[in-house]
A and B are shown apart, each in its own frame.
Chain A
């Protein structure tokens, strides 16, 4: 018997050495697969068993304020980007601005599939009564579920208009958002649905009464004719299973395999939040739903509730400190205590624009610094954003023209032309400031194309956006690339003063061969541009196809 075991072990060793070794030992995987770059990530596993969870607001706030959550590693490249450094479409994100041509009409429509709740009786199924923001869940006359929210008294248009306008912008930027409409509620339309529940402050859940409705409506802005201007948010498709956190993955979702702090669209959400002054970008303001499509169930991830963005604080105008600092800044407390008040924070003195229609927003945004912007509470994905993530987000913003922004703002129906124009101006100024901050910060060369005859063309995103002058020259180093071993072998280099460079002779010509091109720029004002971007092309029957792109390795 011992002899048989010995023979087996020996045989295994031989097999492992000759044939099985690549499988059992650390065989380097090829850098590129045949299907690279992937533009659509598919959730392959059945997620129908994902259960509803409730993210506790207090623990979410406290832990994010005082603890670094998620992956402790620093400077981690986003893990859900494809091989050309872009975010594929997925259950999290759909490429729109910067990838498809958006029109003012398209952005004004955004995610909308209809025109808001159907007229007739609206049957209340539950109420939001957390003591701050009043709100109802209703079924309209056609059985569609809607969430209704209001403006605070004296601020007609502020919360509702902001919610709708920002929804359109977030849709354009690629996120899954609900369908939000400005609508009119007449109190006589409301009827208590069978089984309608409410959980008043300090009370257990109980059956809702008509007095509860009256009580909640008292906290809403009322039109002179007795009606209420509302934002009606259509119930999302699928079964709601709670929000998502901005770190770790959801333990019961098999398809959620990339830690959220390492998802580029969530890191980039920080840039967009800075742009929109979305100080409330926390887990509670997201919602996952289990959607079944063609018999396959998966979780779709949405961003919701944009009532605390721009100049609106939801139930009141934005407070002056919001956008400037976290709710708690432990490092600053000591300084504040010993200074006896002599330490005056910048937000105390900055000039603001105030309007009941849009709330309170910094008046001059030309010098807006997105790196100094703060949500109310730290967001772990925002904290992990690297220069390449911010660059990615900035390229998306660059695609939102003044006209597109104006079209989105118009959907808010703020009812105050001057305030609306200020809002458009502020958004354009903040967008431009973000482009100035993030596009030139690292090598902005993008969209490289190599023609079959060896002419390399590319764009300079910073120059194209008008936020940096053209560099003195561009330099490209061409190397053959072994996809299996990942080794590069230099062929030659070339320099140009334009964004077109002719490759040196000797490029591989065999179909399936790879080419590695390092492109840098010489710019006195931007030394970081000397660090090359890496483009990888694959030779096909039709010429060269871009299969890889890395801005920061």
Chain B
């Protein structure tokens, strides 16, 4: 039998022998083995492309790393009792520390918010900050239970509250942690469309000492603040009043903050002259996610208020804090009545999610005499 070698056969044989020789040669040294692996990789080089998870995390990281620039999603509260609010925000930094920041939002209860703040670049070696702001709120169903410390839940009615505010604020930090501030605003308020419509020229001043790590989250330090406000009714003065508010917060870390005792005392006192009155919708109040947590928002209101809070916090993680708390407080017609009798109490437990500098979400359950209340908030309790 004669085997005729076709052209195809010859090529195939050549290929087989060449491949064999090439492989055998590649295995003659370790250096060549490595070189071969590198040569193989060189055939399939490509630039790094982050995967979907990396892209999402990167975007979220940038959002949390600092104030945004350009459009961003805004999540927060329009007005207490309005539940979650969501909407677009836009921030435009300028001038080395200045920023224009605007938000528009709608809450789950249909409350709406339009807000613009212009923060001027720091002045006087960063000791002075000036900001200008404008805000329109439409809180459609604000609860009202009557005035006084003994109102009943069943008396609840609602009203529509629409303040429109424009103003300017100045803060002066002579030396850290001391801060002084003043603000002047014009407020145009509408209640229930046909109800009272006072216009205020509001002047405010405050002094504060804040030696917590950051206002947004801290496990140590203290915050002491006094605010004075003058609400000057521009429609005859019948609704003019003054308000003095004190806020003391102290954080006591124990065993490298394994436990933190957080104490807070807040009082608000209002003053009037002659026949003038404090309108019910601007009265100091108790009830809601940042005051008396076992009660509905603005459950108690009167001309004066006292709130005492104690929290036992523990820190299961660097990003999660737990707390059991007890709030107690009362409202009263006169400051003389702000004593420790007839206090309303609420007790609860909560979990807070935070970064080293900011609390971004907390969930709390609190019980008062009117049942269990759940709180979802995007701000620290203090």
Contacts and interface: CB of A to CB of B under 8 A. Distances in A.
Contacts of A203: 69, 93, 96
Given A44-B39, A340-B314, A19 B31 contact: no
B34 interface: yes
B156 interface: no
B47 A252 contact: yes
A279 B316 CA distance: 20
B255 A349 contact: yes
A56 B50 contact: yes
B175 interface: no
A44 B17 contact: no
A220 to B, nearest CB: 15
B282 interface: no
Contacts of A15: 13, 16-17
Given A12-B16, A38-B31, A333-B320, 9 more contacts: A23-B24, A27-B23, A204-B93, A215-B126, A252-B46, A320-B256, A335-B316, A336-B315, A345-B258
Contact of A348 (B8, B93, B256, B322): B256
Given A15-B13, A33-B29, A348-B255, A45 B47 contact: no
A20 B33 contact: no
A29 B27 contact: yes
A22 interface: yes
Given A29-B27, A215-B126, A16 B16 contact: yes
A349 B257 CA distance: 11
Nearest to A57: B61
Interface in A310-328: 320-321, 327-328
A341 B16 contact: no
Main SS at interface, chain A: loop
A75 interface: no
B97 A45 contact: no
A36 B30 CA distance: 7
Interface in A155-177: none
Interface string B67-104: 11100000000000000000000010100110100000
Contacts of B3: 7, 11
A12 B317 CA distance: 67
A256 to B, nearest CB: 8
B9 A59 contact: no
A337 B3 CA distance: 83
A8 B9 contact: yes
A254 interface: yes
Interface in A60-98: 61-63, 82-83
12 contacts: A7-B4, A22-B20, A24-B16, A59-B54, A59-B58, A255-B38, A320-B256, A328-B319, A332-B316, A333-B316, A335-B316, A345-B258
B315 A202 contact: no
B35 A254 contact: no
A101 interface: no
Contacts of A253: 45
Contacts of A63: 53-54, 57
Contacts of B67: 201-202
A353 interface: no
B177 to A, nearest CB: 15
A58 interface: yes
Nearest to B68: A202
Interface in B47-70: 47-48, 50, 53-55, 57-58, 60-62, 64-69
A209 B316 contact: no
Interface in B1-30: 3-6, 8-9, 12-13, 16-17, 19-24, 27-30
A251 B317 CA distance: 36
Nearest to B56: A59
A93 to B, nearest CB: 15
A4 to B, nearest CB: 5
Contacts of A344: 255, 258
B314 to A, nearest CB: 3
A43 B38 contact: yes
A340 B325 CA distance: 13
B13 A11 contact: yes
A27 B26 CA distance: 13
Q: Interface size for chain A: under 10, 10 to 19, 20 to 34, or 35 or more residues? A: 35 or more
B19 A59 contact: no
B93 A33 contact: no
Please name the 4 residue pairs, one residue from A and one from B, whose CB atoms are nearest each other, closest first: A58-B61, A336-B316, A23-B20, A341-B314
A321 B226 CA distance: 36
A183 B223 CA distance: 40
Contact of B45 (A41, A49, A53): A49
Nearest to A67: B53
Interface in A412-456: none
A371 interface: no
A404 B64 CA distance: 44
Contact of A254 (B42, B64, B317): B42
Nearest to B62: A58
Contacts of B317: 328-329, 332-333, 336
A188 interface: no
Nearest to A209: B96
Contacts of B54: 56, 59, 63
A22 B60 CA distance: 55
A212 B34 CA distance: 50
A62 B57 contact: yes
B351 interface: yes
Contacts of B48: 53, 250-252
B29 A59 contact: no
A333 B314 CA distance: 11
Contacts of B256: 320, 347-348
Interface string A1-41: 00011011001100110011011100101100111101001
A334 B42 CA distance: 48
A131 interface: yes
A225 interface: no
B45 A254 contact: yes
A11 B12 contact: yes
B46 A251 contact: yes
Interface string A123-154: 00000000100000000000000000000000
B240 to A, nearest CB: 40
Contacts of A211: 96
Contact of A59 (B23, B61, B96, B97): B61
A383 interface: no
Contacts of B41: 45, 249, 254-257
